[in-house]
Amino acid sequence: MDILSSRTSKISQLAMDGLVERQRAIGANIANCETPGYLRKEVAFESQLSEIIEKEDLKNYIKCQNSIEPKVTGYDEFMQMQEVHGQKRPLTPQEKRFLITNSYGQYDPQVMDDVFSEGTLDGNNVELEKEMVDLTKNGTKFLMLSNLQSKYYSGLKQIISENL
């Protein structure tokens, strides 16, 4: 994946948003580790990110099949490119609708109660050791993605300053 791709930046930003939600949930779990009846919270977002990536890959495939540069971002640009280059086959109405959908806008990390972990007699199912490990893993993932974002913006800054 290209480090200077806006798609990479968008996906990493969404992932960071999910990791922030997960950090909040882990913090709540740690704070409530001795609260009777408290069910630990989990945040799921990875499958949504995978789905977004698959949809964007499919959009690029459709554009390529219609002799269009994959970098075309909007429906109007898409139609202009078709007129200029000619298309290999007509787009179906479903493809047209699909190409103009905002895959990124459908992202919504889900905070859920963990009903599968065993709890103590008081109903609390938080394991402090596990939460501390999860806190570290989550922080490491966030740091990695923030470094990726930093490189993305440093690259953009370099490109802009070289062209001035």
Q: Which residues of 40-77 are buried (b: 16+ CB within 10 A; e: fewer)?
A: bbbbebeebbeebeebbeebbebbeebebeeebeeeee
Instruction: State yes or no: pLDDT of 132 exceeds 80.
Output: yes
pLDDT at 99: 77
- 72 phi and psi angles, rounded to 5 deg: -65, 130
The pTM for the full model equals 0.74
Highest average pLDDT, of 3-7, 97-101, 117-121, 139-143, comes from 139-143
Q: Give per-residue pLDDT as tens, 52-110.
A: 999 888 888 877 776 554 455 555 555 555 554 554 556 677 777 777 778 888 899 99
Give me the amino acid identity at 22: R
Which pLDDT band holds residue 1 (cuts at 50, 70, 90)?
very low
- Angle value at C-alpha 134, between 130 and 136, nearest 5 degrees: 120
Residue 127 class from Cβ within 10 Å (0-12 exposed, 13-18 middle, 19+ buried)? middle
